[in-house]
Amino acid sequence: MASSSDHTAKIIDGKAIAHTIRSEIAEEVRGLSEKHGKVPGLAVVIVGSRKDSQTYVNTKRKACAEVGIKSFDVGLPEEVSEADLISKVHELNSNPDVHGILVQLPLPKHINEENILGAISIDKDVDGFHPLNIGKLAMKGREPLFLPCTPKGCLELLARSGVKIKGQRAVVVGRSNIVGLPVSLLLLKADATVTTVHSHTKDPEAIIREADIVIAACGQAHMIKGNWIKPGAAVIDVGTNAVSDPSKKSGYRLVGDVDFAEASKVAGFITPVPGGVGPMTVAMLLRNTVDGAKRVFGE
């Protein structure tokens, strides 16, 4: 067998794939505008002034502008009451120009996230977190109106890279409501054999070594080592962890949950961090918004 040092995984370029998808979406939005005289609308609700949340919201706003989706930005103070936030969501539910509603998480401690997500109309739940959408995702033969953006982006990266899912062994590292859980349900729907690795799993290394597909979403910098990866496996790294790096102006750099340098000598396919899953999440949000609008326009 050739030494692993001369092998390099095929890089799954999420940035380039997301760019292609955004061009496809822009064309669709133009078509909808010509045919119906209306464009899809996305409302983004942000509570408080967390720097990271504001960065995400700006990215989403720019992406909307780029493809022709109308943005509705709702900024509320940190101390807003849960009742006021819910009434704002209800107002957006009844606004016919809004086809998608996204409430930027995390919310301040005094607000019950479940109550807010449950208040979003299922027809406008572009984040795919409404319990009815997640419930349908979990059930055989049911289709949710929307799939959560990051999990949907992960599967789209695999599909557009020609990675077969059906019958393959997939290991999802992490079980969060936002990524780990829904991505494992999506893989199951795509006929993979799915194992979830979490903080109470015994010998995660042995389980990950069996995987044809690894989705890493545990939020632990470089937890997954190169020698944990089965040769030729497809590795999708959802993690974005800041590690200190004095050579950078910011004093830190972003790394994934997988040791990229080591894993790329073994894997068949791998996503970089940043530039892998991140751009896809935004592209899928745009896709969901357009799909929501198309249902309303009778397409």
pLDDT value, residue 4: 47
Cβ burial of 93 (10 Å; 0-12, 13-18, 19+) is middle
pLDDT along the chain (299 residues), means of 10: 69 97 98 97 94 86 97 96 98 98 94 96 96 95 96 98 98 96 98 98 98 98 98 97 92 95 98 95 98 96
pLDDT value, residue 139: 95
Q: How far does Cα 10 stand from its chain's mean position?
A: 21
pLDDT value, residue 198: 98
Tell me if the domain spanning 37-123 has CATH number 3.40.50.10860.
yes
**What is the C-alpha to C-alpha distance for residues 269 and 172, in angstroms, rounded to an integer?**
16
pLDDT value, residue 50: 83
pTM: 0.94
Secondary structure in 3-state letters for the chain: CCCHHHCCCEECCHHHHHHHHHHHHHHHHHHHHHHHCCCCEEEEEEECCCHHHHHHHHHHHHHHHHHCCEEEEEEECCCCCHHHHHHHHHHHHCCCCCCEEEECCCCCCCCCHHHHHHHCCHHHCCCCCCHHHHHHHHCCCCCCCCCCHHHHHHHHHHHHCCCCCCCCEEEEECCCCCCHHHHHHHHHHCCCEEEEECCCCCCHHHHHHCCCEEEECCCCCCCECHHHCCCCCEEEECCCEEEECCCCCCCEEEECCECHHHHCCCCCEECCCCCCCHHHHHHHHHHHHHHHHHHHHCC
**What is the C-alpha to C-alpha distance for residues 98 and 13, in angstroms, rounded to an integer?**
31
**What is the C-alpha to C-alpha distance for residues 207 and 233, in angstroms, rounded to an integer?**
13
What residues act catalytically?
60, 104, 127
Q: Where in the chain is CATH 3.40.50.10860?
A: 37-123
The CATH fold assigned to 148-278 is Rossmann fold (3.40.50)
Q: What is the largest CA-CA distance in the chain?
A: 64
Q: Where in the chain is CATH 3.40.50.720?
A: 148-278
